[in-house]
Amino acid sequence: MEISENLIARLQSADSVVFFTGAGISAESGIPTFRGKDGIWNKLKPEELANFNAFMRNPEMVWEWYKYRRGIVHQSKPNDGHIAIARFEEIIKKVSVVTQNIDNLHRRAGSRNIYELHGNIERNYCIKCRTFYNDDLDIKDKVPRCVCGGLIRPDVVWFGEYLPEDQYSGAERVSSACDIFFVVGTTGIVFPAASLIYSAKRAGAYIVEVNVEETEVSSVAGESYFGEAGKILPAIFNKISEKKGT
């Protein structure tokens, strides 16, 4: 796979790089994406599973779905794409990961500066007193309850909910100050997360898309690499580390 001289030169001189990732980077870890041919939303309705009203209407069903997804995440492991992103920290001064994913695979791959825009499936909290429970929550009942009696929910951002302020503002800060902004494995159509692509571009970042197919982002990217992230990202890393003699 050919890496452009332009991208190589930019990466060699870059101080700060952001990897903005979506479900596509975890596809090769066996975690289903949301859209596209086998997308989750082709079979299930987000309004029935991924919003607060659905949870209050039927907490048992929503918990069943998240327990199922959590099971998939627990059986998955970071793939070569996650690992390449973590390894970029060896050769670029400042690397940040801004992810829409809730699967914790970037952290398990070794990335350290991560902004989780949509939460983390391995965390939970009580909707009444906001006590946090981590993943070893012994979900005896179909719907776990807090010691205060409140319902416990997954710590993920549902449709119509605000993104965690600290995560979004931190992501906005690094996206508006980076030299190169990689957009990896996302349709780039869910806002406000996707607005970070345009903030980065407006601030002068060079946008590089990595996806198996064209998306809304392709028209604003400086260059797009079409193929699996688990192959493209290691190829880019190897090329740069070779140039840097690491």
Task: Tell me which residues touch ligand APR (CB under 6 A).
Answer: 22-24, 27-28, 33-36, 39, 100, 118, 185-187, 190, 210-213, 215, 228-229
The least distance separating ligand APR from the CB of residue 223, rounded to whole angstroms, comes to 15
* Whether the bond into 32 is cis, omega within 30 of 0: no
Torsion of CA 177, 168, 85, 112, to 10 degrees: 100
- Which CB sits closer to ligand APR, 146 or 190? 190
- Which CB sits closer to ligand APR, 61 or 156? 156
Specify whether the CB–CB gap between 121 and 104 falls below 8 A: yes
Q: Helix H segments across 76-194? A: 80-87, 105-109, 165-175
- Which CB sits closer to ligand APR, 37 or 140? 37
Cα–Cα nearest to 96, from 83, 84, 86: 86
Instruction: Find the helix packing angle between 165-175 and 195-202, rounded to 10°.
Output: 30
82 noted as active-site residue: no
Q: How many CB atoms lie within 10 A of CB 204?
A: 11
- Which CB sits closer to ligand APR, 13 or 219? 219
The least distance separating ligand APR from the CB of residue 99, rounded to whole angstroms, comes to 8
- Which CB sits closer to ligand APR, 192 or 204? 192
Among residues 74, 82, 106, 118, the one annotated as catalytic is 118
Q: 213: buried, middle or exposed (CB in 10 Å: 19+, 13-18, 0-12)?
A: exposed
The least distance separating ligand APR from the CB of residue 178, rounded to whole angstroms, comes to 20
**Gyration radius (Cα) of the chain, Å:** 19
Q: Which residue lies nearest ligand APR, judged by its C-beta?
A: 24
Where in the sequence numbering do the catalytic residues fall? 118
